[in-house]
Amino acid sequence: MSDSKIESILHEERRFEPSAAFTANANVSGMEQYRQLCQQAEEDWQGFWGDCARREMDWDKPFSTVYDGSDAPHHKWFNDGELNISANCLDRHLSTRGDKTAIIFEDDAGTTELWSYRQLHEAVCRFANGLLAAGLQRGDRVIIYMPMRPQAVVAMQACARIGAVHSVVFGGFSAKSLEDRIQDAGAKMVITADESVRGGKAIALKATVDAALSACSHQVQTVVVYQRSGAPVAMQEGRDVYWHDFSDHQSTDCPPVALNAEAPLFILYTSGSTGKPKGILHTCGGYLLGSILSMRWVFDYQENDVYWCTADVGWITGHTYVCYGPLAVGATQVIFEGIPTYPHAGRFWEIIAKHKVTTFYTAPTAIRSLIKAGADLPKQHDLSSLRILGTVGEPINPEAWMWYHEVVGGRRCPIVDTWWQTETGSNVIAPLPGAITTKPGSCTLPLPGLFAAVVDEQGNDVGNGEGGYLVIKKPWPSQLRTIWGDDQRYCDTYYPANIAGGRFYVAGDSARCDEDGYFWIMGRIDDVLNVSGHRLGTMEIESALVANPKIAEAAVVGRPDELTGEAVVAFVVLKGERPTAENATALMTELRDWVGKEIGAIAKPKEIRFGDNLPKTRSGKIMRRLLRIIAAGEEITQDVSTLENPAILEQLKEKIG
Ligand code: WTA
């Protein structure tokens, strides 16, 4: 973390207290009530979580044990209880909210479609019966590679209904990434669409699935194809079936199966510090509880809210705050297929006004790009329905925070800056908007029952204002259970012996706490970049680069970027000659496209620098620290005498092309 950032944190003096009117109606009304909840969790941790789980969820068979840590760091919650997630999201609302709108869907072109809870329930039941008819059983894995449409939610909920384990792959990932995930998950089925349509452009999905499957040694039995655009696609006899043929004739009666609370619900792949993405495994009971409680606590969910989380279902935010949380509390939510800037840069504001959105949850990178696209645009729309604004995915800079507060929220709406991870399942550190005073740039305080802290290597709390490892000291229901197929990596990554002796969950972020105990996230401590709120492993991009026949060696680092938070910078050594100014541009385009093909467009390096070598220690280790300084355009001030080849630094500073 640079000194300037520490400075800005220390100088952030602005405070925004919840208004009396907001607090009066809030689910957690005032600091006193927040403290009471925290205290209950501290005094009787199991009792606290047990009460929440009994109160918030419908159980087919009640649990007798709240927490079982006999095999720590493997945690079991509500282990002998049984429930069904889809029943908790749909069936239990039918008698009270059957005709309530569950989903307001707006497609790329602006056409709106309303789905009531009853209609969504019927669609899920039909599709779940299709899954059963195709021979899918409990525990079988299903890859979902879909556009951002209600059908993606239907597919996920249908899997949950029959106990199949879904693994959603973001529609922007390449055939190669898709193939890796199909293979790693051992999926029996892939659910996809002919194309997705975003910003007026069609993106082939089925063709990508075909490419992934032809390279896959693993046998996928069924591919279900939803016809989004109607574009012609190749259908393989005996394997591929259209969504309507698969599901439309099925019965709308599909009893949800009672599943053990610890039965797997989904696998979601995320980048880590090795070349191979991690399949984060979440289970039914604890995960759902986290989704529901954060809807109530952080989003202060009220029956008449219109909730809109802009995340794609391919990311954890789209799992917890699109597919599960809002439905479990019986909310009306907006699902939007398109992009913020199409057909104009005011699209988000238009949607908020049109559907009277009350709760809007998006990423800092989207906020920054919308400021750039038109800081005055929100004023052209009636945003008076808004009452809460949220952000997630990366630290929000105070300037963007203030704009969000003033221009979008009309100074009336609390901002909930929510810190959490794919691994944590749901919000961990975030303001409860009717209780906690916010400070621009801080995610404020942990949720009740979440014992987040900043510690040193020994596990001792560091002093106020000092940086350290962000940890969570006690287990919590919605945390990941393991890494699919690699339990050792789970233990080593999240409970590493070298930090606090493996006693605490280690998030992989560094943070500091101020004098009020407020958390300020500083960034990752591992080789993971955060580009536009998306996690990218530097090793993953490096291995993609070196798979190119022209490349001998590559090192990837991040550099600060105004718009995307961080940007990918690649340092490349070619097998042949270093390029000249004449041929560098074409080569860069070729290599960027290569990374796009290997991983997906989000991983394409923003900048590529070429050298005859990389800066290495005498033992051959690449000094990424120095590369980060070069990438940021800063001067190297430290001693470089441990380098085998210090002269290479000058060459790498030079931009060609
Ligand atoms: C970062 C997204 C600062 C952090 C839900 C974390 C944040 C990683 C915030 C997880 C925030 C997430 N402030 N940083 N409010 N929220 N991060 O798994 O580095 O895609 O470890 O989950 O994003 O990213 P993931």
Average of per-residue pLDDT across 359-370? 94
Instruction: Indicate whether 5 pLDDT > 50.
Output: no
Cα pseudo-dihedral 528, 446, 79, 164, rounded to 10? -50
Residue 533, token pair as written in the block: 């709120």
CA 419 to ligand 1 centroid distance, Å = 6
Q: Which of 281, 415, 419, 531 has the most ligand 1 atoms within 8 A of CB, as the residue to mutate? A: 419
pLDDT digits (tens, 9 = 90+) for 596-643: 999 999 999 999 999 999 998 877 778 888 999 999 999 988 888 778
Ligand 1 contact, 394 CB (< 6 A)? yes
CA distance 49 to 476: 8
Amino acid at 67: Y
The two structure tokens encoding residue 489: 């990596």
Mean pLDDT of 592-599: 95
Q: Does pLDDT of 119 surpass 60? A: yes
**376-404 pLDDT per residue, tens:** 999 999 999 999 999 999 989 899 999 99
Summarize pLDDT for 526-575 with one digit per residue, the tens: 889 999 989 898 988 998 999 999 998 999 999 999 999 999 999 999 99
Q: Rounded to the nearest whole angstrom, what is the distance from the C-alpha of residue 535 to the centroid of ligand 1?
A: 8
Report yes or no: 99 and 122 within 8 Å, Cβ to Cβ: no
pLDDT surpasses 80 at 8 = no
Q: Contact at 8 Å (CB) between 596 and 604?
A: yes
Rounded to whole angstroms, the Cα distance separating 555 from 597 reads: 18
Strands 388-392 and 359-362: parallel
| Mean pLDDT of the 32-56 span | 98
Residues in contact with 68: Cβ distance below 8 Å, sequence separation at least 6, in sequence order = 75, 76, 77, 79
Rounded mean pLDDT of the chain?
95
CA of residue 78 relative to chain centroid, distance: 25
Name the token pair of 380: 């052209």
Q: Are 23 and 30 in contact (CB under 8 A)?
A: yes
pLDDT of residue 360: 98
Atom 5 in ligand 1: which residue has the minimum CA distance?
Answer: 421
Q: What is the rounded end-to-end Cα distance, in angstroms, of the chain?
A: 30
The answer, yes or no, to whether any atom of ligand 1 lies below 6 A from the CB of 535, is yes
Tokens representing residue 161 in the block: 């209904």
pLDDT at 11: 65
What does the pLDDT read at residue 130? 98
Contact 131, 158 (CB under 8 A): yes
Question: 76-100 burial, b for 16+ CB within 10 Å, e for fewer?
Answer: bbbbebbbbbbbbbbbbbeeebeee
Closest to 603 measured CA to CA, from 177, 194, 283? 177
Looking at residue 4, what is its pLDDT? 40
pLDDT value of position 9: 52
Output the DSSP codes for 436-451: PPB-TT--BSBPTT--
Candidate from 426, 521, 566 with most ligand 1 atoms within 8 A of CB, to mutate = 521
Q: Is the CB of 320 under 6 A from ligand 1?
A: no
Q: Is the pLDDT of residue 273 over 80?
A: no
Ligand 1 atom closest to Cα of residue 521 = 3
* H or E segment and range at residue 54: helix 45-56
Q: With 0.85 as the threshold, say if the pTM is over it.
A: yes
**What is the predicted pLDDT for the residue at 402?**
96
Answer whether the bond into residue 73 is a cis peptide, omega within 30°: yes
- Decide if pLDDT at 2 tops 70: no
One-letter amino acid for residue 203 of the chain: I
Q: Give residue 644's pLDDT.
A: 84
Please state the φ and ψ torsions of residue 207, each to the nearest 5 degrees: -60, -35
